[in-house]
Amino acid sequence: MNSVQLWTLVFVVITFGVYIYIAYASRVKDTAGFYIAGGGIPAPANGAAIAADWMSAASFISMAGIIALSTNGYAGSVYLMGWTGGYVLLAMLLAPYLRKFGKYTVPDFVGDRYSETARLIAVVAAIVVSFVYVAGQMAGVGVVFQRFLGVNTTLGVVIGMVIVFFYAVLGGMKGITWTQVAQYCVLIVAYLIPAVAISQQLTGIPLPQVGFGQIMDELNALQAEFGLAEYTSPFTQMNMLNMILMTATLMFGTAGLPHVIVRFYTARSVRAARFSALWALFFISLLYTTAPAVGAFSKYNILNQIPGTALDEVPAWFRSWQDVGLINVNDLNGNGVIDVAGGLGEGFELAINNDIVVLATPEIAGLPAPIIGLVAAGGLAAALSTASGLLLVISSSVANDVYFKRINPAATEARQLLVGRMAMGVAIVIAGYLGINPPGFVAQVVALAFGLGAASFFPILFLGIFWKKATAMGAAAGMAAGLISTLAYQIWTLPVYLGGDGIFGISAASFGAVGMLINFAVTIIVSQFTPKPTELMQKLVEDVRYPGRSELVAAHASGAIDDELLHGDHHHPRDEHH
């Protein structure tokens, strides 16, 4: 075992031990604790947990790689703009109102606001989105274990599954929340330390957000020297239509992700939900303003070290990643030297997997082994924190929205918890399989999940809050149309992914915005010709939007309003709770 593996093992054992201890100390015995942590998490802690839940393996492991290696940095900026802008949308337009409405899950809101049919479609959408998303997280876990601990991807994913199973099943949302606070601390320290060190090393400025601007001219010159588009040139990798649609897809997909929305139910009050969003934006910004710098530094170092190097003289870090298949060299001209003229990637002499850039950055810069090990632990923290949140969405959708609300309304708390934990166990096994056999690199898979989130949830949540006459049949039809059209398009165009031979060249990852417009259109049109919500429901929707807590909102949140009064005769009664 070399020093990098040793330090990685030390940090992994310490951090995993902390996560398991927190889960054991936070174990729960009721559904409120399991699904929403009893609604008692302070705003700063909730903000850190939201940030960890949000900054997945895609943000930590893949985003800087996409920015660095997508020929130039410009095309990768859609991830920064989309994900950050979406969070502002979520905080401003959805989170406080959903918290005020007082439901456990997104399907719970959809079922209560619209109908049981809409609830079931929302359950299917939540499960599909969560499984696509979690596949990317488990693939990220496999990448880290494979490279830094020398175990194969399958064993790495299995280890990750066991850890997540332990703390997610035992502690539910309460255990997950406090574990995610610890995971945020690990991942942000692991991300910032090498970024600061490399910025100081390359530019003499310890602030990476400032430092990377100092090397832009040199980086553009290096790119031009090797026949690549300038790092800052627009539309060389992705045309303007796909740039706009991709940004919109990521933005509205963020605002529709069920595992992020449910976080706001864990806040103590509507006011605390707003402050949680503010704290989360601060915590997220620490990583998101650093990622472009990490991408630029890595590209700069790679272009300075690798092109023109003889195949038998490559640096040790290069050889290590080559050995695990995440760097591929194909000496097309047979001169025994690595050439990057014309491009990087499949079909060229040098192809570097996006997922290694952040993990390899400390090695590329020659930083000491403990920092390399810390970054590996940070990557695992990012992947596992998001995976646990997604698995809870799957669990709550099955146990709360299908089993309790549809199959057995008389189920005891203990029975509901048992079903929730069983559903999570099954979900973890499926997630592990998807992690071992992922349909793409980490951020690619995650981008597809955002498209599905944008196309299925955002229109229904937005109209459910801001248009009191959105009907149950309209919502069900819109969600189904958005989800099916987007999923079908993604499956059809996935093999060509960013190349995009689809309609007007729209890529699989960009189509979510189109699916969202389909959802909006179908919902609005069908709502014009179907029974309107009851006067009481329309009044409730109005009251939810205004500051303060009306008697009607309070009565609804406590379950004191009769279901038939709220929905009328066309709505199927669910359980005696209402």
Domain ranges in the chain?
Answer: 3-298+368-457
Q: How far is the C-alpha of 82 from the C-alpha of 472, rounded, in Å?
A: 30
Per-residue CA distances from 28 to 33, 102, 166, 402 (Å): 6, 20, 13, 21
* Structure token digits, residue 572: 């199927």
Question: What distance lies between CA 333 and its chain's CA centroid?
Answer: 41
Torsion on CA atoms 335, 336, 339, 343, rounded to nearest 10: 90
Alpha-carbon torsion (238, 243, 245, 249), positive or negative: positive
Nearest residue to 456 (alpha-carbon basis) of 386, 511, 495: 511
CA distances from 324 to 90, 150, 247 (A): 39, 9, 33
What integer pLDDT is reported at residue 576 of this predicted model?
Answer: 39
Residue 481: its pLDDT value, please? 95
Q: Which two tokens stand for residue 337?
A: 């030297």
Q: What was the pLDDT predicted at 13?
A: 87
Q: pTM value? A: 0.80
Fold annotation for 3-298+368-457: Sodium/glucose cotransporter (1.20.1730)
Residues paired with residue 327 on neighbouring β-strands, in sequence order: 352
As a whole number of angstroms, the distance between CA 101 and CA 554 comes to: 9
Long-range contacts of 201-205 (CB under 8 A, 24+ apart): 201/365, 202/297, 202/300, 202/301
Instruction: Please name which of 397, 430, 490, 402 lies closest in space to residue 134, comparing C-alpha atoms.
Output: 430
Rg, the chain, Cα only: 24
Q: In sequence order, which residues have a C-beta less than 8 Å from that of residue 204 and are 6 or more positions away?
A: none
Q: What's the DSSP call for residue 346?
A: T
Strands (E), 382-459: none
How much is the pLDDT for 171?
Answer: 63
Closest by Cα among 184, 259, 262, 191 to 18: 184
DSSP SS3 for 327:
strand
- Dist CA 135 CA 140 (whole Å): 9
Opening angle at CA 239, ends 237 and 243, nearest 5: 95
Give residues with Cβ within 8 angstroms of 327, minimum separation 6: 318, 321, 350, 351, 352, 353, 356
SS3 breakdown of the chain: % helix, strand, coil, rounded to 5? 75, 0, 25
Residue given tokens 């602030």 in the structure block:
207
Task: Check residue 473 and give its pLDDT.
Answer: 94
How many DSSP H helices and E strands does the chain contain?
27, 2
- Identify any residues that bridge with 267 across adjacent strands, giving them in sequence order: 41
Please, are residues 382 and 140 in contact by the beta-carbon 8 Å criterion? yes
Total Cβ atoms within 10 A of residue 123: 26
Burial class of 166 by CB neighbour count within 10 A (0 to 12, 13 to 18, 19+): middle
Alpha-carbon span 269 to 260, nearest angstrom: 17
Nearest of 270, 311, 297, 306 to residue 203 by alpha carbon: 297
Retrieve residue 200's tokens. Answer: 């100081």
CA distance 238 to 240: 7
The pLDDT of residue 529: 93
Strand partners, 329: 350
Q: What is the pLDDT of residues 146-186, one digit of tens each?
A: 777 778 888 888 888 888 777 677 666 677 778 888 888 88
Q: Which portions of the chain are predicted below pLDDT 50?
A: 497-500, 571-578
Residue keyed to tokens 């990476």 = 208
